Amino acid sequence: MMTEVAPAEESERSGLAETYVRSAPEAIRLAYLLTGDRALAEDLAQEAFVRFVARLHYIRDRHAVDAYLRRTIVNLSRNYFRRRALERSFLERQAGHRPLEHVEPDVSTHQAMRAALLGLPVRQRAALVLRYYEDLPETQIADILRCRPSTVRSLVSRGLQALRQIPEVTR
């Protein structure tokens, strides 16, 4: 049986589709910077959008899509890495050996930077990306990461310090 769609509903759907088309590229770019995985980035962006739609009725300002997506993507990325760390820890315990050393790719500065960025703790990476890619002020980053602005400064500083330790970066 076909369900009739009321004009208002149809308009809302059309608006959401438009919003998705407009917001998705930025959402995917942000997720990619946090995860380094294109497919995962698309999944996270889509998941964030689904959550946004599900919470549409609770969101006071429906134009706040970008900020909501940004926050959700950061949280989803953190959850993803947390879960992965738990899984890895479990597997290592099962296998009864310590983790293999991570080997840095010895290629160009860009690739070294990329590896260094993705090797940072999630919060440091998120702080750097939100600060230098999204150009957000410390107060907004603090809001997204659920910490104080002073902690954001500290995370950014530590992230920069870690990147500085990469030979290609300091050369």
Gap between the Cα atoms of 35 and 74, Å rounded: 10
Gap between the Cα atoms of 3 and 158, Å rounded: 55
Q: Cα dihedral sign for 148, 24, 108, 106?
A: positive
Q: Which of 16, 40, 53, 147 binds another protein (CB under 8 A)?
A: 147
Relative orientation angle of helices 138-145 and 149-164, to the nearest 10 degrees: 90
Residues in contact with another protein, shown as a per-residue x/- string from 10 to 49 under the rule CB under 8 A? ------------xxxxx-xxx-xx----x--x--------
Q: Which of 44, 49, 68, 80 binds another protein (CB under 8 A)?
A: 68
Give the residue among 74, 59, 76 at the shortest CA–CA distance from 16.
59
Q: Which is nearer to another protein, 7 or 63 (CB)?
A: 63
Q: Cα dihedral sign for 133, 126, 122, 152?
A: positive
Q: Which of 13, 84, 88, 148 binds another protein (CB under 8 A)?
A: 148
At its nearest, how many Å lie between another protein and the CB of residue 93?
14
End-to-end CA distance of the chain: 67
Q: Is position 97 an interface residue for another protein (rule: CB under 8 A)?
A: no
Q: Which is nearer to another protein, 30 or 76 (CB)?
A: 30
Chain positions contacting another protein, by CB under 8 A: 22-26, 28-30, 32-33, 38, 41, 59-61, 63-68, 70-71, 85, 102, 109-110, 113-114, 116-117, 119-124, 128-129, 132-133, 135-136, 138-140, 143, 146-151, 153-166, 168-170
